[in-house]
Amino acid sequence: MSGLDFPIALRLQDRAVLLVGAGKIATGRLAQLLEAGAKVHVVAPEVSPEIVRLAAEGKVRLSQRGFEPSDCEGAWVIFSATDQPEVTQQVVAEARRRGVLVNAADLPGLCDFYVPSFGRRGPVTVAVSTAGLAPGLSRTLKDRALDAVGPEWGKLARLLGRLRRITPPGPARTKALSAIVDGGAAQLLARGDRPLLWKRIRAVWPRSGIVYLVGAGPGDPGLLTLRGAELLGRADAVVYDRLIHPEILARARKGARLVFVGKEGGGEQTSQDEINAVLIAQARLGRRVVRLKGGDPFVFGRGGEEAIALSEAGIAFEVVPGVSSGIAAPAAAGIPVTHRAVASSVTFATGHRAEDNPNWKHLAGAQTLVLFMAGRKLAEATAALVRQGKSARTPAAIVEAGTWEGQRVIEGTLGEIAELAAAAQVGSPALLVVGEVVRLRAQLTALAQQASARSGAGR
Ligand SMILES: C[S@@+](CC[C@H](N)C(=O)[O-])C[C@H]1O[C@@H](n2cnc3c(N)ncnc32)[C@H](O)[C@@H]1O
């Protein structure tokens, strides 16, 4: 024998298949092809009532006539199952001419492929082929093999398929899948002992953690989102920055590891690479990690960089937006960042690092400008804005520790605000608001106080 058969399992769903013949063999083949989801065209001058019924129901296309070479047009695979060898030879010749694989029932010498004898247990197919030599023997061997494969193996195949889909490929997954099969999973399914089966699966399955990039809000613990609070309550590890209110940290699950990656006093700032490495390492231990970031993770928070690093490491992550201090701190100070007829746009910017390279000309044109991390370079920033044409008389305010218990607001004009801030020894965190909206502060804080006095709030 030159060359052994090469078994494959064809996916025929929605594929065009030509079946020439409508006798007993063809009818059996048709049932198998329909089960596989193929779109079958049956060509035969005489057909069984079963095939006529299937055609009437639209389940097959029927051409009740002799074979014509054009029947092969568009066919993905061809079966000839007629009792007329000359017709089969014609079908095979046409299939070859078109380069389409063909099977000729009972004429193994003309076949490009054989159909093994097969049976199914759910998605498991047990197939035996004897190279077209002895179909009866194939059937006997297939029956014997099927006897050894109970329906539980089909259930197991489905279960393993689901587990594979939810876990990234790799040696750990392969090892765990083998351990499940070798650990008697099919026998447990046969006995219906699913609790023990799942216990065993949990024991061997590679634990893959997840990182939640959670915005903690501007400071006030009441401004943490419900989702953020829920995740903290379930966290295995919390990786947090400076400027996270202790009451927010106190919401972390009892026993969760708290990992500080901010800058304490004059200490060193943890580098972004180091923070990424901590997140990846914690998640690789199978932990549910909450990465708590001030405000919103994607507003000057490097949350995007962390998300990219996690995804490159193949670690699942979810972003939980937070209340950004860019909106919340001005609001808490009585400054709406937009207000009808005063400002219909707001620009958020930072001028902290050299690489931020602020476009001062553009920023000078902003209706409301909120400048983050303004502290150290405040004098430079305000001077640059005035140089670029912003009036030095434009109202401006510094909001320090907005929404925190010790919130302070320094109000003045753009020309004087840096000096006022220096005199008041403004620290961090603070942001600068520049624009006509700052004028609304006096009115809005007065109104808020009157309303609160009327309602008796705080009593
Ligand atoms: C690294 S940025 C992070 C911003 C944060 N992702 C957000 O959306 O609020 C830190 C800067 O935000 C501003 N900031 C944060 N919290 C603040 C607060 N409570 N009051 C005033 N400014 C705040 C300060 O300008 C601070 O230097």
Q: What is the pLDDT of residues 325-375, one digit of tens each?
A: 999 999 999 999 999 999 999 999 987 665 667 899 999 999 999 999 877
Q: Closest Cα to atom 2, ligand 1: which residue?
A: 300
- In the block, tokens 């520790």 appear at 401
DSSP readout, 111-131? -SS-PPEEEEETTEEEEE--T
**Structural tokens at position 247:** 């009451």
Atom of ligand 1 minimally distant from the CA of 402: 20
Query: Which of 323, 372, 377, 378 should be mutated for ligand 1, with most atoms under 8 A from CB?
Result: 372
* Mutational test site, ligand 1, from 325, 398, 407, max ligand atoms within 8 Å of CB: 325
Give CA–CA dist 331/458, Å, rounded. Answer: 19
SS3 for 222? helix
Report CA 221 to chain centroid distance, whole Å. Answer: 29
- Token code pair at residue 405: 């218990």
Q: How far is the CA of 430 from the centre of ligand 1 (A)?
A: 7
- The encoded tokens of residue 284 equal 């690789």
**350 CB near ligand 1 (under 6 Å):** no
Ligand 1 and 394: CB distance under 6 A: no
Q: Say if ligand 1 is within 6 A of residue 426 CB.
A: no
List, in sequence order, every beta strand (DSSP E) within 309-423. Answer: 316-320, 346-350, 368-372, 395-400, 408-413
Q: Is the pTM of this model over 0.75?
A: no
> How remote is the CA of residue 233 from the centroid of ligand 1, in Å?
24
Distance CA 271, CA 252 (A): 24
Q: What residues act catalytically? A: 241, 263
Q: How far is the CA of 217 from the centre of ligand 1 (A)?
A: 9
Whole-number Å distance, alpha carbon 374 to ligand 1 midpoint, is: 10
**DSSP element (H, E) containing 346:** strand 346-350
Ligand 1 pocket member 430 (CB < 6 A): yes
What pLDDT digit, counting tens, does each position of 164-186 carry? 876 767 888 899 899 999 999 99
In degrees to the nearest 10, what's the CA dihedral of 94, 97, 98, 103?
50
Q: How far apart are CA 315 and CA 302, in angstroms?
A: 17
Ligand 1 test: best mutation among 299, 431, 432, 434, most atoms within 8 Å of CB? Answer: 431
Q: What residue's CA is closest to ligand 1, atom 22?
A: 430
Q: Is 337 in the pocket of ligand 1 (CB under 6 A)?
A: no
- Distance set, CA 407 to CA 50, 90, 420, 438, 441 (Å): 84, 91, 16, 16, 15
Could you identify the atom of ligand 1 that is nearest to the CA of residue 428? Answer: 27
Nearest to 285 by CA among 337, 211, 396: 211
Most informative mutation of 300, 346, 403 for ligand 1 (most atoms within 8 A of CB): 300
Nearest to 333 by CA among 448, 419, 237: 448
State both tokens at 276: 């990424």
How far is the centre of ligand 1, averaged over its atoms, from the C-alpha of 295 (Å)?
6
Question: What tens-digit pLDDT sequence spans the chain (459 residues)?
Answer: 468 899 999 999 999 999 999 988 999 999 999 999 999 999 999 998 889 999 999 999 999 999 999 999 999 999 999 989 999 999 999 999 999 999 999 888 999 999 999 999 999 999 999 988 898 999 999 999 999 999 999 999 999 998 887 676 788 889 989 999 999 999 999 999 988 998 888 888 777 789 999 999 999 999 999 999 999 999 999 999 988 999 999 999 999 999 999 876 556 678 889 999 999 889 888 889 999 999 999 999 899 999 999 988 878 899 999 999 999 999 999 999 999 999 999 999 987 665 667 899 999 999 999 999 877 789 999 999 999 999 999 999 999 999 999 999 999 999 999 999 999 999 989 999 999 999 999 889 888 888 888 877 654
The Å distance, Cα 373 to ligand 1 centre, comes to 7
Dihedral of CA atoms 295, 297, 300, 301 in degrees, nearest 10, equals 100
Q: Is 445 in the pocket of ligand 1 (CB under 6 A)?
A: no
C-beta 397 within 6 A of ligand 1: no
CA distance 219 to 238: 17
399 Cα to the center of ligand 1, angstroms = 10
Residue 50, phi then psi, degrees to nearest 5 = -60, -45
